[in-house]
């Protein structure tokens, strides 16, 4: 996006933050993932629903693929009011608080049902943390279970030694280190170039990411480890939210509830479909070996112990609440 256009868009959003909606407000909504991804499609539907619910008084315009702000810039942009609303991968915010990493802890929640329970258990404390940072979560939607992509066969963790590993949060960077791989922080929009140029050779991600980025052009193997189900959250700047009247907040809240329900259903529907598409395009798709699965779970136990030390009493309380639901 050119500088003049971006400045104009941000200027419109900044004005929106300071006004109560007597007339139609335009909110620009940055998204990190491609327009064809189901998260982005869900956000676009959410925006349409907000407009309908508000009688056209709130007009949310989505900007997919990091076109307005790159993925790593979105949270700060919303905090500072550069954008009133946007979407961000929750676990990418581990530098803000270790509590944000909870849905990327290996093998804590490995199914959609478990992931939903973990979301409910962690939501109150996450909302409390977000409030201190001047934002609030409107809704959250999961990615399908995470699997291991690699250029060569992987039978054990030893096969990952020295491999250039794409990390998208602190948890994946730590996992790479524990495996003996070399972590490299790469946002989704930069994936294709990273694999094409050899900057990355491997990653743990969902079938969705592999499909969106045609990863089969660079990687041969995908192991369905079902390690965790990370989530994206749509968040709103607190000042922008408080600037709305009751009807405006209600319009957004109702749309958010519908988007969350639809997003979870779509993620679950697509999970197996993505696996089929990877295989159809020539990838070797299957479960990890018994050795790799066992070693991965051992690494997950190490990461959980480390996380509990960093997350303190709040982290333990969330884990206890989650376990009580199972």
The owner of tokens 């009011």 is 81
Nearest 5°: the CA angle 216, 222, 226 is 140
> Do 156 and 216 have their domain in common?
yes
User: Which residues is 284 bridged to in the sheet?
Assistant: 221
C-alpha distances out from residue 131 to 127, 235, 241, 277, Å: 6, 11, 12, 40
Residues 168, 45, single domain; the answer is: no
Q: Are strands 284-286 and 221-223 parallel, antiparallel or unpaired?
A: parallel
- Domain assignment present for 100: yes
Same domain, 135 and 169: no
Structure tokens at 6: 């971006």
* 246 CB-contact burial (10 Å; exposed 0-12 / middle 13-18 / buried 19+): exposed
Do 248 and 200 belong together in one domain? no
Task: pLDDT tens for the chain, 326 residues: list them.
Answer: 555 545 555 555 555 554 444 567 999 999 999 999 999 999 999 999 999 999 999 999 999 999 999 999 999 999 999 999 999 999 999 999 999 999 999 999 999 999 999 999 999 999 999 999 999 999 999 999 999 999 999 999 999 999 999 999 999 999 999 999 999 999 888 999 999 999 999 999 999 999 999 999 999 999 999 999 999 999 999 999 999 999 999 999 999 999 999 999 999 999 999 999 999 999 999 999 999 999 999 999 999 999 999 999 999 999 999 999 98
* Residue 24 confidence (pLDDT): 79
In a domain, 209, yes or no: yes
Same domain for 51 and 89? yes
pLDDT at 19 (0 to 100): 44
Q: Based on the fold, state whether residues 193 and 260 are members of the same structural domain.
A: no
Is 78 in contact with 234 (CB distance < 8 Å)?
A: no
Domain co-membership, 300 together with 252 = no
* CATH code of residue 90: 3.40.190.170
For residues 37 and 154, state if they share a domain: no
The answer to whether position 32 is within a domain reads yes
Residue 6: the pLDDT is 57
Residue 326: per-residue pLDDT: 87
Handedness of CA 96, 249, 258, 87 (dihedral sign): negative
- Within 8 A by CB and 6+ apart from 247, the residues are 54, 57
Inside any domain, residue 277: no
Q: What is the pTM of this model?
A: 0.90
Task: State which residues form the domain around 164.
Answer: 147-228+282-325
For residue 148, the cross-strand partners are 204, 223
Q: Where are the beta strands (DSSP E) in the chain?
A: 25-30, 58-63, 85-89, 135-142, 147-150, 164-167, 182-185, 202-205, 221-223, 231-237, 284-286
CA distance 31 to 102: 22
Asked if the structure places residue 68 within a domain, the reply is yes
pLDDT of residue 20: 43
Residue 294 is assigned to a structural domain of this protein = yes
Identify whether residues 172 and 290 lie together within a single domain.
yes
């Amino acid at each position: 996006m050119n500088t003049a256009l971006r400045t104009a868009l941000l200027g419109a959003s900044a004005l929106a933050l300071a006004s109560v909606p007597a007339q139609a407000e335009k909110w620009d909504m940055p998204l990190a993932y491609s327009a064809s991804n189901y998260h982005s499609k869900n956000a676009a539907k959410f925006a349409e629903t907000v407009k309908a619910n508000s009688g056209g008084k709130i007009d949310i315009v989505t900007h997919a693929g990091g076109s307005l702000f790159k993925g790593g810039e979105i949270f700060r942009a919303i905090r500072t009011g550069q954008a009133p609303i946007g979407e961000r991968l929750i676990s990418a915010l581990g530098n803000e608080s270790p509590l944000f990493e909870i849905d990327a802890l290996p093998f804590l929640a490995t199914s959609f049902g478990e992931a939903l329970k973990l979301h409910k258990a962690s939501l109150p404390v996450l909302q409390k943390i977000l409030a201190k940072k001047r934002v609030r979560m409107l809704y959250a939607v999961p990615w399908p279970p995470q699997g291991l992509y690699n250029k060569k066969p992987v039978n054990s963790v030893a096969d990952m030694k020295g491999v250039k590993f794409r990390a998208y949060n602190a948890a994946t960077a730590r996992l790479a280190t524990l495996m003996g791989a070399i972590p490299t922080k790469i946002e989704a929009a930069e994936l294709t170039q990273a694999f094409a140029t050899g900057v990355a050779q491997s990653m743990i991600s969902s079938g969705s990411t592999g499909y969106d980025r045609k990863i089969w052009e660079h990687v041969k193997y995908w192991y369905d480890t079902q390690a965790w189900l990370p989530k994206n959250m749509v968040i709103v700047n607190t000042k922008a939210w408080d600037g709305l009247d009751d009807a405006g907040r209600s319009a957004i809240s109702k749309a958010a509830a519908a988007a969350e329900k639809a997003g979870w259903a779509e993620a679950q529907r697509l999970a197996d479909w993505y696996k089929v598409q990877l295989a159809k395009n020539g990838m070797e798709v299957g479960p990890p070996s018994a050795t790799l699965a066992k070693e991965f779970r051992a690494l997950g136990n190490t990461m959980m112990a480390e996380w509990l030390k960093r997350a303190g009493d709040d982290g333990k309380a969330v884990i206890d609440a989650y376990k009580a639901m199972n």
